[in-house]
Structure 1
Amino acid sequence: MKAIIKYAFPLVLLFTGIQVSSSAETEPALIADKAVKSLLLDIEMLESGRLVTVGERGHILLSDDQGIEWRQVPVPTREQLTAVDFLDDKRGIAVGFSQTILMTNDGGESWQLTHNEESFEQPALFDVQFITNEKIVAVGSYGLYLESNDGGENWESREIEGLADYYGFFSHFYSIQKITDDYWVMAGEKFIDGVDEDGFETSSALAAETRDGGETWQKLPTPYDGSFFGIEVDDKGYLYVYGLRGNLYISKDAGQSWQGQFLSTASGFHDMAILDENRWVLVGTGGALVYKTLTSTDIKKRKDLKGRAAVVAVDEDTLVVVGDGGIERLNLSQQ
């Protein structure tokens, strides 16, 4: 999201145009009756079935009944939270603006602030991934890359030289996925990859991999010159990257080649849930929801066109979706 400023700071600005404060919000989040209807940007389902969602003003909400009832929990910040990940039913992490990092050891009931840094150059974290019990990686704006090797207590900033553009600058890193302890993939904003014979800059969407546990990263060739907002991998090892203007690409050879998927929508895609080997769901701007089966592709939007940011499947036919309209619980058989 960021060749154009309106796409720059992910879903927050894509959805609502909210102005993000440059000062760290160190006060605790307010417990709000309407938090379930507030802007929520990510959702995670734990092994126990608990759902944890995060979003604006430091809101974190939990559900233990597949998304029917929700309760907000205390959080020591009012920063916009953009992503959440859990290692198991107890240990979790949430990240957001002002490089905010929160940790939990009780399944999301309570949260502790372990990192917060004001930075005009790299103001926000957009995704986070537990790699092992001790190693965690968080990525964000303008090449922001934070790494912890002690379970989230301390964080080190790294510059990933292999992902710099033609001029040595960095685009935004939006999504990181662990495939094995050593093999991870990343997707992000388009970057300038060269200058043609007429002197015009050329661009490519960012997809990248590491095969050595993050020591080195390499860009993957992509056929798209826009931005990717997310990357997923299925049980067969196929990679899916998705982003602006309805673009979805699938690779069956670890990113060496890609097949574009024609989807009759111009919505940007923000999250994907792979349901089984024949079914997947994408959600995005304008309230888009794409449901793909072996025999059909169904595309629908919210009537109010409020953006959808993230999705999880709680059973084979039920989705919980979060976004600009808060929390939705959808039955695929009724879509």
Structure 2
Amino acid sequence: MTMIKWFLLAALASAMAVPFTRPVIAGEFVDVLDSPALPSALAAQSTLTGLTRAGERLVAVGQGGHILYSDDAGQHWQQASVPVSSDLVAVHFPTPRQGWAVGHDGVVLHSNDAGQTWTRQLDGRQVGPIMLDYYQQQLASQPADEALQARVSEAQRMVEEGADKPFLDVWFESDQVGYIVGAFNLIFRTDDGGRHWTPLLDRTDNPSALNLYALRPVGDDVFIVGEQGLVLKLDRASGRFNATPTPYNGSFFGITGKPGATLVFGLRGNVFRSTDSGVNWSKVELGLPLSITASSVTADGRIVLVSQAGHVLVSSDDGASFRMQPNTALAPVAAAQVATAGSLVLAGTRGLRQLPLE
């Protein structure tokens, strides 16, 4: 079986085993898309897989639709009001108040108050029909196009399958223009703040429909990474995501860096660095055979990588080399965010915790 992002495997298996529902009363089930996230005093200790900044605020997302926010660099957390209880995977705020979160069941949520309350903009019940309508319109003007015929068939299958369409990352370049990516080459773009979404499955160099795990900018470039060494770079002129070959054919889970230095990271400690906008890549030796699952960049330009077990590695030379930071309290990590000049907040299967950053 193709390896996928370690911290998503259990959640994906759970979602497939009991699709879209959760027990409420014995004998009754309610669709998680119609069931708000439950308030919990232990939400900050539950599994959390996405973490970002909304201005000075930190926002985390995770299992059961839990979204939490902190205004004191992660020392204390409050739970947000969320209209779904689907597992959430990623979150991004292009401005201090406007933010988006995505996850299982094709969920896309929006907040306009810095993460305190959320509304649903999209879910998996709409994804298939949106794709089908879009590609049927394209096919009507080009009826002999075999690629479009295949897209229509694929969209029809997704309509029949229902809502189980996980989105795995989200990134907005402004409060209007953004992208969401997910399993099996799912990718959509909005130009109006999420009110409407356009499928871009025909605009990726991903003929095998590999999972798309992460989408992030580095400098003026925008990259997507996924399974089997997949790295895509946005060509803004054409609107296409073109393949950028790397020397590695295992899964990449994330992208980080700064202008002039792009890093992609993934399975078994594999990290590759490019200083020419993704044209050429060289391996960064970490000396750590564990998957890298999270990253962040400090205000002074240090690049931080975190392993699946919680090892923290810091680079002061634009990602050319890394030094492991002492950390005896190891725990599984899915996301990381620099909170202050001297602290790092980590999210994972044991919730949220702070670490000093040397």
Q: 2:131 corresponds to which residue?
A: none
Matched, 1:107 2:114: yes
Instruction: Name which of 245, 262, 272 aligns with 1:249.
Output: 272
Matched, 1:123 2:165: yes
Q: 2:134 corresponds to which residue?
A: none
Q: 1:148 corresponds to which residue?
A: 190
Matched, 1:134 2:176: yes
Give the alignment's Cα RMSD to 1 decimal. 2.3
Gaps of 5+ in 2: 21-30, 126-157
Matched, 1:177 2:202: no
Matched, 1:80 2:83: no
Q: Residue 137 and residue 11 in structure 1: after superposition, are their counterparts in 2 closer, same or farther (change >3 A)? A: same
> Aligned letter for 1:138?
I
Q: 2:339 corresponds to which residue?
A: 314
Per the TM alignment, residue 262 of structure 1 is displaced from its structure 2 partner at its CA by 1.0
Does structure 1 retain, via aligned residues, the 8 Å contact 2:90–2:101?
yes
Per the TM alignment, residue 146 of structure 1 is displaced from its structure 2 partner at its CA by 1.4
Does structure 2 retain, via aligned residues, the 8 Å contact 1:246–1:269?
yes
Q: Residue 177 and residue 156 in structure 1: after superposition, are their counterparts in 2 closer, same or farther (change >3 A)? A: same
Q: 1:199 corresponds to which residue?
A: none
Does structure 1 retain, via aligned residues, the 8 Å contact 2:48–2:60?
yes
Per the TM alignment, residue 286 of structure 1 is displaced from its structure 2 partner at its CA by 2.1
Q: Residue 177 and residue 153 in structure 1: after superposition, are their counterparts in 2 closer, same or farther (change >3 A)? A: same
> Aligned letter for 2:344?
L
Gaps of 5+ in 1: 191-204
- In structure 2, C-alpha distance between the alignment counterparts of 1:302 and 1:56, rounded to whole Å: 26
Q: Residue 316 and residue 213 in structure 1: after superposition, are their counterparts in 2 closer, same or farther (change >3 A)? A: farther
Per the TM alignment, residue 62 of structure 1 is displaced from its structure 2 partner at its CA by 0.7
Matched, 1:266 2:289: yes
- In structure 1, C-alpha distance between the alignment counterparts of 2:70 and 2:48, rounded to whole Å: 14
More strand by share: 1
Per the TM alignment, residue 274 of structure 1 is displaced from its structure 2 partner at its CA by 2.2
Does structure 2 retain, via aligned residues, the 8 Å contact 1:95–1:128?
yes
Superimposed CA distance per residue, residues 38-71 of structure 1 (whole angstroms, 9 cap, x where no aligned partner): 0101111122x11100000000001001111111
Matched, 1:229 2:253: yes
Larger deviation, residues 34-43 vs 259-268: 259-268
Q: 2:241 corresponds to which residue?
A: 217
Superimposed CA distance per residue, residues 134-166 of structure 1 (whole angstroms, 9 cap, x where no aligned partner): 2111000000001112111122222135422xx
The share of aligned pairs that are identical, in percent, is 29
The within-5 A match list for 1:282-301 is 282-293=305-316, 297-298=323-324
Does structure 1 retain, via aligned residues, the 8 Å contact 2:313–2:322?
no
Does structure 2 retain, via aligned residues, the 8 Å contact 1:287–1:302?
no
Does structure 1 retain, via aligned residues, the 8 Å contact 2:305–2:313?
yes
Per the TM alignment, residue 225 of structure 1 is displaced from its structure 2 partner at its CA by 1.2
> Aligned letter for 2:254?
G
Per the TM alignment, residue 277 of structure 1 is displaced from its structure 2 partner at its CA by 6.6
Q: 2:41 corresponds to which residue?
A: 33
Q: Residue 216 and residue 18 in structure 1: after superposition, are their counterparts in 2 closer, same or farther (change >3 A)? A: closer
Q: Residue 97 and residue 214 in structure 1: after superposition, are their counterparts in 2 closer, same or farther (change >3 A)? A: farther
Larger deviation, residues 143-152 vs 128-137: 128-137
- In structure 2, C-alpha distance between the alignment counterparts of 1:56 and 1:78, rounded to whole Å: 8
Q: 1:189 corresponds to which residue?
A: 227
Superimposed CA distance per residue, residues 235-288 of structure 1 (whole angstroms, 9 cap, x where no aligned partner): x33110000000111100111111111112121111111226763221131233
TM-score (norm 2): 0.79
Q: 1:194 corresponds to which residue?
A: none
Does structure 2 retain, via aligned residues, the 8 Å contact 1:184–1:213?
no
Does structure 2 retain, via aligned residues, the 8 Å contact 1:67–1:329?
yes
Q: How many residues align?
A: 307
- In structure 2, C-alpha distance between the alignment counterparts of 1:3 and 1:163, rounded to whole Å: 19
Does structure 1 retain, via aligned residues, the 8 Å contact 2:311–2:324?
no
> Aligned letter for 1:13?
L
Q: 1:202 corresponds to which residue?
A: none
Q: Residue 96 and residue 260 in structure 1: after superposition, are their counterparts in 2 closer, same or farther (change >3 A)? A: same
| Higher gyration radius (CA) | 2
- In structure 2, C-alpha distance between the alignment counterparts of 1:264 and 1:17, rounded to whole Å: 30
More helix by share: 2
